[in-house]
Copies of this chain bind each other. A is one copy, B any other.
Amino acid sequence: MNVLVLGGDGFCGWPTALHLSAGGHDVTIVDNFARRSADVELGAESLTPIRPLEERLDAWTALGGRAIGFRRIDVAKAYEALEAALRELAPDAIVHFAEQRAAPYSMKSPRHKRYTVDNNINATNNLLCAMVEAAPDAHLVHLGTMGVYGYGKAKGLRIPEGYVDATLRADGREASVEIVYPPDPGSIYHMTKTQDALLFAFYAKNDGLRITDLHQGVVWGTLTPETVADERLINRFDYDGDYGTVLNRFLMQAAIGHPLTIHGTGGQTRAFIHIRDTVRCIELAALSGPARGKRVRILNQMTETHRVRDLARMVSDMTGVPVRTMENPRKEAAENDLQVANDGLVRLGLKPTRLSEGLMGEVIDVARRYANRCDTAKVVATSRW
C-alpha cells in the first residue's frame, strides 16, 4: 500500500508512519510542524527528547527501515502543493492527522479558537477537494474523536459506531431513518471534528469518495515496537495541561512525585486506547476501506472505558503518590456513564491492549528516565472554559 500520513511528525502520526513502514507499505509523511510550533508558543516541550524529523527519518533508514518520504506542506493553506503531491504520489490511502488536536489549547483564547477552526476545517476540506481532483480512488482514513458523541445525550444507550436507527416524531407523524448519532461536542476542538463529519458525508455522497472516520478514545502510552528500536526514533510524550492526555499525565505526575490532579469529582468516564493499538487500528482500517459511492465508514477506535478517578486510584495504588482534587476548569458533566461499541476494529483483527497488561509501569519508567526535562510549572491545566 502506498500511504500518505498527514501530520506524520506528531504524537500519533509518527509511530503510525513507522508502523506502516515496518509493515511493508510505502509511506510519505506530510507535515508543517504545527505541533512543534505549539511547543515553542507554550514554552512546553515533549518530555522525551524528540529529534528533528529529518534525523528521525535518517535513523529509520540507517536501521534498515524502508525509506519514508517527506513533504513539508501546510495542508490547511497550500492547496496547490497538496493537490500536486496527491497527483504525483498516487496514494492508495491517506491518513489524516493534520489537525489541531487538543481541547484545552482550542479553548485558550479567541486566537486559539479561531486557529483550531480555520486549520482543521480548511485542512479537511482542502484534502477532500484535492482527492476529488487528483486521487478519487484513494481511501481517506481520518482521526476523529469519541468526543463527538458527547457524554450523556442518549442515556442508557451503548454508543454505536457512528450510525443509529431512529424514529423521528413531529406533528403526530413519524418516520424511521438511520441517522448519524447526534453530535454533542464539549470544546471547539471536538466541535471541529463534528464539522469534519459533515464534510465527509457530503463528499462521500456527492463525489463517491472512500472515507473511514475513526472516533478515537484518549490515547495513552508512548512507546511502540518501532519507536523503541533507537532513541532517535523516540515518540513525543506530552504532560502539560494543554496537550497531555489524562492517563499519561497521571503516570508522569506519579513519576515525579507530583499529586495526581483530578478535575472535579473525577467522575468523568472516558474511552481509552494504547498508542500501540492506535497504530494497528490505522493499518487495519486503511487496508479495508469502503467501496466508492458507499457512505462514510465510522469506527470507534478504543479498547476500554474508565472513570478518571478510578485511573487515578490505580496509579496512586501502584506508586503511593496521592490524588489531589482540583476545581474542574472545563464545562462538562461531573459524572457520566459510557459504554461504547468497538466491534468494527475487533472484527478487522484488533487484539485490544488492556491497562491490566502492565504497560502503565512502562510509561512511568519512560517518565522517570526523562524527569529532569520536566517543567513542573506546566503540569497543572490552566485553560478554563
A37 lies within 8 A of chain B by Cβ: no
Number of interface residues of A (CB under 8 A): 53
- In the complex, A132 Cα to B188 Cα: how many Å? 13
A310 lies within 8 A of chain B by Cβ: no
B165 adjacent to A169 (CB under 8 Å): yes
CB of A173 to closest CB in B, whole Å: 6
A129 adjacent to B157 (CB under 8 Å): no
- In the complex, A159 Cα to B174 Cα: how many Å? 11
A177 adjacent to B182 (CB under 8 Å): yes
**Mask of A97-140 contacts with B, CB within 8 angstroms, 1/0:** 00000000000001001100110011001100110110000000
B129 adjacent to A154 (CB under 8 Å): no
B177 adjacent to A179 (CB under 8 Å): no
- In the complex, A180 Cα to B179 Cα: how many Å? 11
- Copies per complex of this chain: 2
A156 lies within 8 A of chain B by Cβ: yes
Residue in chain B with minimal CB distance to A177: B154
- A-side interface mostly: mixed
A164 adjacent to B169 (CB under 8 Å): yes
- In the complex, A113 Cα to B194 Cα: how many Å? 19
Chain A, 334-385, CB within 8 A of any chain B CB: 341, 385
Residue in chain B with minimal CB distance to A155: B175
- In the complex, A160 Cα to B153 Cα: how many Å? 20
A160-B166 contact, Cβ under 8 Å, with A83-B110, A113-B125? no
Residue in chain B with minimal CB distance to A206: B331
Counting from the closest, the 10 A-B pairs by CB-CB distance are: A154-B175, A160-B170, A110-B129, A179-B182, A195-B195, A165-B169, A157-B175, A117-B125, A167-B167, A191-B202
Binding site for B on A (CB under 8 A): 79, 83, 110, 113-114, 117-118, 121-122, 125-126, 129-130, 132-133, 153-160, 164-171, 173-175, 177, 179-183, 185, 188, 191, 194-195, 198-199, 202, 205-206, 331, 341, 385
